[in-house]
Amino acid sequence: MKDHYQPFLIGSQFRVLPPDCPVPQDDKINLLMERGAFGSGEHETTDSCLKCLEQLPLSGNEKILDLGSGTGILALAALRLGGGHVWCIDIDAGAVQTCRTNCRLNQLGPQVDHLCGTLDDLTTGDFDLVLANIYGDILLQVAKQLVEKTRSGGLLLLSGILWEYNFDVRQTYARLGCEVLENRMLSEFSTVLLKKT
């Protein structure tokens, strides 16, 4: 079932709107999404992630991983910002289906691979950019795998990290050879941008 929702702005450059909504012609990047509803925390952390993503130089050749892709908003945004190809993974089959639909709605289907599962199921690696907007405890659990999937010099944009996990996440990824480039503390969540050295 499609959710009916009002278009909203997110990040500094994006507007999310339902598929049947007239698309405004302005300087915003429009993302058509079947489901626009986020929980309040999820909205905050997605917003933060997008703002961080907007600052990254994307050339069109990047190999991007979106772990816990959900609706696919980060993957879509990364592609709209000029990213190359995204591998979306989510453990939830419903989320994968929604993500697939959203990619198609935005005519970005060919640039996205979908996988229902975990990092264990992902056969490719050497990602230039890893996006993971998932809980901090999961980020800690998958830290080693996630860093291994990233090429040297690649970036990891981690969000959805509750305050209490922020330090542990930064410390864990730093010990795995990552350098913290940015640490955004939000009202309840945090976003961390790292570079694998």
Partner 1 sequence: MTPAVSILLPVRNEEQHLPATLRSLQRQTLGDWELIAVDDGSQDQTPKILAAAAATDDRIRLFRQPPQGLVAALNFGLDKCRAAFVARIDGDDIAHPQRLALQLAALQQDPTLTLVASRVRHFPRPQLQGGMHAYERWQNSHLQHADIMRDLYVESPFAHPSVMYRRQVILACGGYRDAGWAEDYDLWLRLALQGERFERLPQTLLYWRDRPERLTRTAENCTLEAFRACKAHYLRQDVLAATKQVTLWGAGQEGKAWRKALQKQQIEVGCWIDIDRNKIGQTIHHARVLSPDQYRAKDKILVTVGAKGARQLIRDWCRENRLLEGQDFLCVT
Q: Residue numbers of the site for partner 1 (CB under 8 A)?
A: 137, 140, 162-165, 167-168, 171, 185
User: Residue 13 or residue 141: which is nearer to partner 1 going by CB?
Assistant: 141
Output the smallest distance, CB 132 to partner 1, in A.
Answer: 17
Here the tokens at position 46 are 């997605």
Q: Please, which contacts does 56-64 make with residues 24 or more away whose CB atoms are closer than 8 Å?
A: 56/81, 56/129, 56/155, 56/157, 58/82, 58/83, 58/84, 58/129, 59/84, 60/84, 61/128, 62/128, 62/129, 63/87, 63/124, 63/126, 63/127, 63/128, 63/129, 64/127, 64/128, 64/129, 64/130, 64/131
User: Residue 126 or residue 137: which is nearer to partner 1 going by CB?
Assistant: 137
Output the smallest distance, CB 196 to partner 1, in A.
Answer: 22
Q: Which amino acid is at 152?
A: S
Output the smallest distance, CB 164 to partner 1, in A.
Answer: 3
User: Residue 75 or residue 192: which is nearer to partner 1 going by CB?
Assistant: 192
User: Residue 151 or residue 184: which is nearer to partner 1 going by CB?
Assistant: 184
User: Residue 105 or residue 140: which is nearer to partner 1 going by CB?
Assistant: 140
Output the smallest distance, CB 148 to partner 1, in A.
Answer: 22
